[in-house]
Structure 1
Amino acid sequence: MVWLYLLLALAAFAVALKSTSVALAVVCLLAALGFVVAAVLGLLARRIGSQSRDENFILDPAELHRLREQAAANRAAGGDQPPAA
């Protein structure tokens, strides 16, 4: 979709250069600017989306509390020693 916006921006820019009407040239230049902005925002959204974490790995507060209690119990029982190899 991003590449489509860039092609539309290129087409609008070409029409603006070939037109003899000033009003049409201004409209086409504004359209080209809008398509370029849409393409850049699409690329940014794709990049941010690819770097986000998976929601399945996010712990809820109750699970986090249970894991902390379990770790504290392991430390109190002397479980902080590394496992023997």
Structure 2
Amino acid sequence: MLSSRIFIWQHVTKLSLKEVQQVIPLYHPVWARADPANIAFADRHAAHGNFRNWARLTAHTLTALERTGRDYPDQEVLRWAFSRLGSWRD
């Protein structure tokens, strides 16, 4: 059924770290305030250049920031967000 609803399949390639560093701060304001080293940390440990992973990570990161009262994601916040993704191991 799904294939009958899809007109054209789109293949999206993995973002390189350089692309992540350029695109992700523009994607959401939370990443615009983040240290580029923490964006690289998040990509290496959880997002892996996949935009869908970045969307999920962003949602969990926003929850963590709200709960902690912090203004931007640091590694402690990111580790908590990673734990919500279900596939991350330290």
TM-score when scaled to structure 1?
0.27
**Which structure's residues are more often helix, by fraction?**
1
Larger Cα-atom Rg: 1
